[in-house]
Structure 1
Amino acid sequence: MARLDAGDVAEGRRLLEEALRKSPGDVTVMHGLSRALDLAGERARSVELLEHANARAPAEPGPAHDLAMALLEREEDARAVQVLTPVLQAHPDDTRGHLFMAMALAKTDAAQARVHTAKALMDPNPDVKLQAQALDGVLAEHLAAS
């Protein structure tokens, strides 16, 4: 993971593939390798690995967050809700999980999505807060117009 964080995608990928061969069920390694694959432009394989990691550890936030975002990009909002539900049950204070859940619910249940944006606004990360504020504003306008 350190190699990936340092920007050495090829070496990070090689090390993570080796680690996965040694520990084929390691969710942390699967998640790291999925990031490396995504950075290398292998999105389909990355998502496939996220699916495996999520199936193995459905309440683990990292892989679930990344999988949910991939699903949202493909407009599979209902599936993203399914992926995020066990995470939020196990980690009710997971503000990023709440942000992603709000995104997943935005088109079908704006009121419930706002419940999740309110929780996401508690995140200390200014980027997460900004995204939550922007989404909450759109949801508020939508609800006011309804």
Structure 2
Amino acid sequence: MKPHEMDELFARHCAAEAANDVPAILDTLTDDVEHDVVGDPAGVLYDRAAIGERYKAVFDALHEEKFESVHRYYGEDFFVDESHWYGTVTGMFLGIPADGRRIDYRILHVCEVRDGRISRENVWLDVAAVVQQLTA
């Protein structure tokens, strides 16, 4: 894929996340996707239903207000997106109750692509920043 095609794919993926639209998110992923949110107790997921449940749990915990890419790097079949997330914790996040608290943190997506979709999504959160804000 060319960089502009990866940009369009990731824009659709992020728009679906912002809309809490699990079917639209799953539509951006290959059928055999590897989904890894580093540190998530569920580990690496390969089952689309389980991935959908992971997203639903995130949507129950967080309300996104703004997501902005800072830098993006490309390879032949991958991209790395460094972003900043802003929003409100609407429930329990990372095991910490913080109902209604506004937070922001850096996030890194490392994604492999194949046939116009994301075949591997590896997500890294700045957990230290999140914990600091939720326990302050």
* TM bucket normalised to smaller: under 0.3
Q: Which has the higher contact order (CA 8 A, sep 6+)?
A: 2
- Structure with a larger share of its residues in strand: 2
- Structure with a larger share of its residues in helix: 1
TM-score, normalised by the number of residues in structure 2:
0.25
